Structure 1
Amino acid sequence: MSDSTERSTIDVAIWISLGAVFLYTVGWSYAHHFFGHFNFIGLTHLGIPSEYHLMDGFRVLKDYLLRFLVGGFVLTGLMILGWRSRMVWLRWVSLPLLIPAFMLAYSLGEISADHNFRQHSDANFNRYPWMRVWITLDTKSDPNLANLAKDLAKGHYRLLLQSETSLFLIKPRKGPRIPTVQVPLRQVKAMRRLPVNPGRE
Structure 2
Amino acid sequence: MTAPAAETALPAAAGAPSFAGIALDATLLVTFATALLFVAGWGYAEQWLASFDLGVIGLGIPSGYFAMYGYWVVTANLWWLVPGAVVVALAPFLRCWPWARRRLQARPWPRFSAETRTATRGAARVLRPGLILLLFWGAYALGRQTADDSFARHEGEGFCTFPAVRVVSKEASMLAKSLPGLPEALAAGQYRLLIQSGGVLALFRADPPDAPVKPQHPSLVVPVAEIAAMELTPVPPGCGPR
Report the CA distance between 1:154 and its aligned residue.
0.6
**Partner Cα distance (2:239, 2:66) in 1:** 28
Asked if residue 60 in structure 1 is aligned to residue 73 in structure 2, the reply is yes
Q: TM-score, normalised by structure 2?
A: 0.68
Asked if residue 200 in structure 1 is aligned to residue 200 in structure 2, the reply is no
For structure 1, list consecutive stretches of 5 or more residues without a partner in the other structure: none
Compared with structure 1, are the counterparts of its residues 140 and 10 closer, same or farther at alpha carbon in structure 2 (3 Å cutoff)? closer
User: Once superposed, what is the RMSD of the aligned Cα atoms?
Assistant: 3.1
Asked if residue 188 in structure 1 is aligned to residue 201 in structure 2, the reply is no
Q: Is the partner of 2:129 in helix, strand or coil?
A: helix
Q: Is the partner of 2:193 in helix, strand or coil?
A: strand
| Count of residue pairs the alignment pairs up | 192
1:18 corresponds to which of 32, 38, 53: 32
Compared with structure 1, are the counterparts of its residues 141 and 13 closer, same or farther at alpha carbon in structure 2 (3 Å cutoff)? closer
1:171 corresponds to which of 185, 188, 205: 205
Asked if residue 149 in structure 1 is aligned to residue 183 in structure 2, the reply is yes
What is residue 158 of structure 1 aligned with on the other side?
192
What is residue 44 of structure 2 aligned with on the other side?
30
After superposition, give the CA deviation of every residue in 1:90-145 in whole Å (9 maximum; x if it has no partner): 44433321122112211210111001101111112111111111113367766xx2
AA at the equivalent of 1:118 = A
**Partner Cα distance (1:30, 1:125) in 2:** 18
**Partner Cα distance (1:35, 1:98) in 2:** 27
Q: TM-score, normalised by structure 1?
A: 0.80
- 1:157–1:172 CA contact under 8 A, matched in 2: yes
Query: After alignment, is 58-67 or 48-57 more displaced?
Result: 58-67
* The structure with more radius of gyration: 2
For structure 2, list consecutive stretches of 5 or more residues without a partner in the other structure: 1-12, 94-116, 208-213
- 2:59–2:198 CA contact under 8 A, matched in 1: no
